């Protein structure tokens, strides 16, 4: 039976053809990733979905490309600041020849020169909805398949998703037409993720189920989704992970790791390490077991046509950034998972498979009962997950609390640690 | 303050190491052959060369310093000129002052590059920090992309047509057909030009210079030295250079020549109307047009009209790039800017390889180089006169 569906919720669906299995599987190529260290500030902001350029703290001149000294006053006080990206497309071209294999395999490419209202001139990819030069545009930062920031100009007015553009779609991990594994579909968050991915046009969602004897409210309802297929998966059991990978590993395009164990445990609140070990077994070793079995087939299929393997998503926690003492051992397990995800990201990068980390704040569930609002709903985290896949980011902080923690962390991690310690008392 | 004149500084011994599309040789080989040809042409021992200005993209990890030992030169004046297509003009300016001041007597100005099958990609990928950070990741098209943007902007702003650029390319090809060293040996029709393979819209194949291997060279010395050696020479009347002009223009539609042309002609003591031929830097035809405008042969934006009014062939009106230019001879890396100077010396000394402009008394050669990010940074021009 063909699994191709035309989902009514999806605007302008493009046919996504899976590769003929008889043909050679193409090896992934990447756009050039070499950058100077100073230019990586653009990538750091793009990873969070922001366009930031250096701004001179002495004369306000906006700089591009990244510099070590202000082009106007030579000050070295250049700070990355959020930009509107608005400007005028001065000139454009369509490239029909390229030197790097990645671009050669995907010709033609439309690029242009944009004069930002802020005063800098940038070379950017042009979204297919951008009209002919000259015209008003808005420049956004995106991550290319090498995980490096590139600039993309979209029309000044209205919404233009990267995934609406046949070529720029590759800078996203759009779940439409793809096969997704959600490692734990039982939790409220897992269920919300399955529903959101199905609504976003995923071709098939494998829903991992551990401990099938345990009933979970709402879980049975997932069986009614035509896209959902429930599969046994216990991330604490190496054999379970290996068996599932053997069965579906070569078909998974996106892996969403929602498996999570959350016990509210301060360090000295109870004796013994069993609870902390359980948290680590799911949150850290679970990720490691999944990575060992599913990362190799994901890498192997990263260039497999328009529905290639494309992303690995970890639902972490904002507690991974800095320990929240009332949830001390949980925070530690999520910090361990964050660290491991960086290694996984490095290993998947040569194939162009993106690792996306979600750092939600406290979720409105039983384990965060005593955390004061605002709290984020599982559905909101799931929506942020889908948005992250359809966009071009690596790190997502969904919800107000997560945004707040992230801002405090970026401002000064030691101050945040101190604040969290105070809150705990 | 008026700049000092270049009295009695002359250029002699124009040499070319024949171009090839690809070579297994290193850059040192091409530069070594250029130097060998220079001393043969001047009939002097190698030891008479006491100054060297060298330009090359593929010499790394060496610079001009490495060349001294590699080629066995003991020098009292040495300059490495990493300015691409502007290197010839800049070398002349440096060498002329050295010769005037007595810091050197005979300066060899050489430029050359090798071209392996993957050289061009490697060079463009790491051309500059800005290019690596902010251009190459956008399609890896190298200068084709930059000049496509410039050309598109120029066409839209000043009403130039593809046929206008085509006319320049066809005329240069006709000039090249008489130059035995030109790599392109077939006639180019306007139809072929217009219908060639698209490279970067609006640029098609014959808008784009062909990278190749080769070298060019000439000597700068006092007039008395040239006369003593019995060399035919061209006099240096004026020279200017400018780097990063008009940085606030959103798109490069003019370059430093527009700032410096009055000084150039004042120093040379001649105006643009007294120039008999022009060797413009021509890696893409649009840059020819910018030079014609910025150097005062026509007004800004009048390039298309000027093109329609002239033939640009050696025997026609306004002889331009008389050896065929880079577009028809080939672009041997950093030698691209030396090509025009060497041809200008040949024209003014009656040593042309191909056709000679009748009664050529004064010529202008200009250079342009280094697409560091979104525009060419270095530019310059010289006015030369027959002895």
Per residue in B193-211, pLDDT tens?
A: 999 999 999 999 999 999 9
Residue B228: pLDDT over 90: yes
pLDDT at site B32: 98
| CB atoms inside a 10 Å sphere around CB B296 | 17
Structural contact between residues A284 and A340, judged by C-beta atoms closer than 8 angstroms:
yes
Residue pairs between chains A and B whose CB atoms are closer than 8 Å: 117
**Burial readout B202-212 (b: 16 or more C-beta within 10 A, e: otherwise):** bbbebbbbbbb
Report the run of H or E that residue B124 belongs to, with start and end.
helix B119-125
Q: Which two tokens stand for residue A4?
A: 């191709």
**Contact state of B140 with A150 under an 8 Å Cβ cutoff:** no
pLDDT for A185-207, tens place per residue?
Answer: 999 999 999 999 999 999 999 99
Mean pLDDT, residues A10-20 taken together: 57
HSE-up of B191 (CA within 13 Å, CB side)? 0
Contact partners, residue A252, CB within 8 Å, separation at least 6: A179, A180, A181, A206, A294, A297, A298, A309
Residue of B nearest to A100 (CA): B140
CA dist B165 and A93 (Å) reads 17
pLDDT at site A373: 79
> Which residue has tokens 């109307």?
B273
- Per-residue DSSP letters for A134-178? SEEEEEEEEE-TTS-EEEEEEESSS---GGGSTTGGGGS---TT-
- CATH 3.40.50.1820 is held by the domain A179-424: no
Mean pLDDT, residues B127-133 taken together: 96
Nearest to A321 by CA among A404, A261, A409: A409
Torsion of CA A132, A134, A135, A137, to 10 degrees: 90
pLDDT for A298-354, tens place per residue?
Answer: 999 998 877 899 999 999 999 999 999 989 999 999 999 999 999 999 999 999 999
The CA R_g of chain A, rounded to the nearest whole Å, is 22
Residue A404: pLDDT over 80: yes
Q: Is the peptide bond before B202 cis (omega within 30 degrees of 0)?
A: yes
Residue among A61, A88, A95 with most chain B CBs within 10 A, to mutate: A95
Q: Which two tokens stand for residue B78?
A: 């040495």
Write the residue in B121, B156, B374 that is nearest to A99 by C-beta. Answer: B121
**Contact state of B153 with A144 under an 8 Å Cβ cutoff:** no
Q: Catalytic residues of A, which ones?
A: 330, 334
pLDDT at site A366: 78
Residue A132: pLDDT over 60: yes
Nearest to B287 by CA among B188, B192, B151, B381: B151
Write the residue in B138, B141, B150 that is nearest to A97 by C-beta. Answer: B141
Structural contact between residues B319 and B276, judged by C-beta atoms closer than 8 angstroms:
yes
Pairing between strand A135-143 and A86-95?
A: antiparallel
Q: Which residues pair with A116 in a beta bridge?
A: A87
CA dist A414 and A418 (Å) reads 6
For residue A133, the chain B residues in CB contact (below 8 A) are 152-153, 156
> Which residue has tokens 């130039």?
B160
DSSP-assigned letter for residue A363: B
Q: Tell me which residues of chain A have a C-beta less than 8 Å from any C-beta of chain B.
A: 31-36, 39, 64-66, 71, 88, 90-100, 102-103, 109, 111-113, 115, 121-125, 133-134, 144, 148, 150
For residue A44, the chain B residues in CB contact (below 8 A) are none
pLDDT at site A16: 61
Q: How far is B253 from chain A (nearest CA, A)?
A: 12
Which domains can be identified in chain B, with CATH numbers? 9-118+213-233 (3.40.47.10), 126-209+234-386 (3.40.47.10)
Q: Which residues pair with B54 in a beta bridge?
A: B80, B110
Mean pLDDT, residues B85-111 taken together: 98
Secondary structure (3-state) at B38: helix
CA dist A11 and B220 (Å) reads 69
For chain A, give the mean pLDDT: 92
Instruction: Choose between B2 and B344: higher pLDDT.
Output: B344
pLDDT for A41-64, tens place per residue?
Answer: 999 999 999 999 999 999 999 999
Q: Which two tokens stand for residue B20?
A: 């090839």
For chain B, give the mean pLDDT: 97
Mean pLDDT, residues A79-108 taken together: 97
- What are the two backbone dihedrals, phi and then psi, of residue A114, each rounded to the nearest 5 degrees? -115, 130
Q: Which two tokens stand for residue A54?
A: 């250096």
Question: Rounded to a whole number, what is the largest CA-CA distance in chain A?
Answer: 69
Residue A6: pLDDT over 60: no
pLDDT for B280-308, tens place per residue?
Answer: 999 999 999 999 999 999 999 999 999 99
Residue A421 pLDDT class (50, 70, 90 cuts): confident
Residue A265: pLDDT over 80: no
**Contact state of A93 with B373 under an 8 Å Cβ cutoff:** no
pLDDT at site B164: 98
Secondary structure (3-state) at B82: coil
Burial label for B267, CB within 10 Å (0-12, 13-18, 19+), is buried
Residue B177: pLDDT over 50: yes
pLDDT at site A15: 54
Q: Which two tokens stand for residue A36?
A: 């100077």
| Predicted ipTM of the assembly | 0.94
* A295-309, A365-379, B313-327: range with lowest mean pLDDT: A365-379
Structural contact between residues B252 and B52, judged by C-beta atoms closer than 8 angstroms:
no
Could you state, in order of their start, the residue ranges of all structural domains in chain A?
40-171, 179-424
Instruction: Choose between B139 and B122: higher pLDDT.
Output: B139
Nearest to B168 by CA among B211, B214, B120, B209: B209
Pairing between strand A121-126 and A109-116?
A: antiparallel
**Contact state of B138 with A35 under an 8 Å Cβ cutoff:** no
Instruction: Choose between A253 and A368: higher pLDDT.
Output: A253
Q: Which two tokens stand for residue B181?
A: 């060293």
Structural contact between residues B272 and B265, judged by C-beta atoms closer than 8 angstroms:
yes
CA dist A63 and A61 (Å) reads 6
Mean pLDDT, residues A386-391 taken together: 97
Q: Which two tokens stand for residue A57?
A: 């703290």
Beta-strand ranges (E) seen in B223-371 are 233-243, 277-279, 362-371
For residue A144, the chain B residues in CB contact (below 8 A) are 137
CA A167 to chain CA centroid, nearest Å: 19
Phi-psi region of A263 (alpha: psi -120 to 50; beta: other; left: phi over 0): beta
Mean pLDDT, residues B337-348 taken together: 98
Structural contact between residues A84 and A117, judged by C-beta atoms closer than 8 angstroms:
yes
Q: Which residues pair with B151 in a beta bridge?
A: none
């Amino acid at each position: 039976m063909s699994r191709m569906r035309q989902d009514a919720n999806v605007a302008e669906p493009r046919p996504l053809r899976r590769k003929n299995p008889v043909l050679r599987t193409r090896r992934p190529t990447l756009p050039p990733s070499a950058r100077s260290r100073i230019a990586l500030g653009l990538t750091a902001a793009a990873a969070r979905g922001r366009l930031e350029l250096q701004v001179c703290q002495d004369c306000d001149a906006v700089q591009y490309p990244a510099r070590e000294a202000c082009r106007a006053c030579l000050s070295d006080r250049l700070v990355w600041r959020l930009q509107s990206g608005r400007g005028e497309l001065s000139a454009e071209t369509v490239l029909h020849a390229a030197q790097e294999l990645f671009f050669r395999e995907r010709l033609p490419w439309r690029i242009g020169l944009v004069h930002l209202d802020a005063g800098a001139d940038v070379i950017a990819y042009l979204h297919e909805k951008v009209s002919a030069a000259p015209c008003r545009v808005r420049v956004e930062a995106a991550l290319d398949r090498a995980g490096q920031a590139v600039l993309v100009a979209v029309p000044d007015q209205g919404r233009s998703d990267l995934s609406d553009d046949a070529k720029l779609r590759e800078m996203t991990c759009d779940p439409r037409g793809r096969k997704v594994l959600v490692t734990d579909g039982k939790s409220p968050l897992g269920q919300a993720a399955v529903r959101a991915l199905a609504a976003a046009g995923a071709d098939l969602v494998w829903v991992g189920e551990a401990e099938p004897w345990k009933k979970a409210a709402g879980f049975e309802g997932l069986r009614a989704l035509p896209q959902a297929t429930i599969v046994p998966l216990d991330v604490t059991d190496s054999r379970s992970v290996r068996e599932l990978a053997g069965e579906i590993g070569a078909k998974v395009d996106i892996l969403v790791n929602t498996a999570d164990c959350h016990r509210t445990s301060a360090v000295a609140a109870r004796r013994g390490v069993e609870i902390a070990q359980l948290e680590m077994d799911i949150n850290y070793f679970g990720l490691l077991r999944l990575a060992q079995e599913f990362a190799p087939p994901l890498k192997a299929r990263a260039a497999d046509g328009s529905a290639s393997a494309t992303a690995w998503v970890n639902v972490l926690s904002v507690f991974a950034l800095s320990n929240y003492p009332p949830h001390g051992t949980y925070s530690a397990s999520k910090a361990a998972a964050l660290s491991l995800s960086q290694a996984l990201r490095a290993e998947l990068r040569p194939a162009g498979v993106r690792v996306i980390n979600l750092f939600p704040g406290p979720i409105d569930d039983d384990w965060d009962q005593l955390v004061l609002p605002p709290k984020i709903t599982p559905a909101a985290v799931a929506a942020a997950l889908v948005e992250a896949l359809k966009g071009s980011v690596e790190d997502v902080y969904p919800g107000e609390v997560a945004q707040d923690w992230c801002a405090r962390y970026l401002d000064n991690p030691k101050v945040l640690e101190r604040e969290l310690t105070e809150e705990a008392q | 303050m008026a700049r000092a004149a270049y009295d009695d500084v002359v250029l002699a011994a124009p040499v070319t190491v024949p171009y090839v599309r690809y070579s297994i040789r290193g850059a040192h080989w091409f530069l070594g052959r250029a130097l060998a040809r220079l001393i043969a042409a001047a009939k002097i021992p190698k030891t008479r060369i006491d100054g060297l200005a060298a330009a090359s993209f593929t010499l790394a990890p060496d610079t001009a310093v490495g060349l001294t030992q590699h080629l066995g030169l003991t020098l009292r004046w040495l300059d490495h000129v990493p300015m691409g297509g502007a290197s010839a003009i800049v070398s002349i300016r440096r060498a002329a002052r050295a010769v005037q001041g007595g810091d050197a007597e005979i300066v060899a100005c050489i430029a050359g590059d090798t071209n392996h099958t993957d050289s061009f990609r490697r060079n463009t990928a790491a051309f500059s920090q800005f290019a690596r950070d902010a251009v190459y990741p956008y399609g890896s098209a190298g200068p084709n992309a930059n000049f496509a943007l410039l050309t598109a902007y120029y066409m839209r702003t000043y009403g130039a047509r593809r046929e206008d650029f085509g006319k320049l390319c066809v005329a240069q090809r006709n000039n090249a057909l008489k130059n035995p060293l030109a790599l392109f040996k077939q006639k180019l029709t306007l139809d072929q030009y217009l219908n060639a393979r698209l490279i970067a819209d609006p640029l098609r194949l014959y808008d784009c210079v062909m990278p190749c291997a080769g070298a060019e060279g000439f000597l700068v010395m006092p007039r008395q030295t040239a006369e003593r050696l019995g060399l035919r020479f061209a006099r240096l009347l004026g020279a200017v250079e400018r780097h990063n002009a008009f940085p606030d223009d959103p798109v490069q539609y003019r370059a430093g020549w527009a700032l410096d042309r009055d000084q150039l002609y004042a120093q040379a003591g001649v105006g643009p109307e007294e120039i008999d031929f022009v060797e413009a830097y021509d890696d893409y035809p649009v840059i020819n047009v910018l030079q014609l405008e910025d150097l005062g042969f026509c007004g800004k934006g009048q390039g298309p009209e000027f093109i329609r009014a002239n033939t640009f062939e050696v025997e026609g009106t306004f002889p331009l790039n008389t050896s065929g230019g880079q577009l028809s001879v080939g672009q041997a890396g950093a030698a691209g800017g030396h090509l025009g100077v060497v041809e200008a010396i040949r024209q003014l000394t009656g040593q042309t390889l191909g056709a000679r402009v009748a009664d050529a008394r004064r010529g202008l050669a200009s250079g342009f180089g280094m697409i560091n990010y979104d525009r060419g940074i270095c530019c310059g021009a010289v006015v030369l006169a027959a002895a």
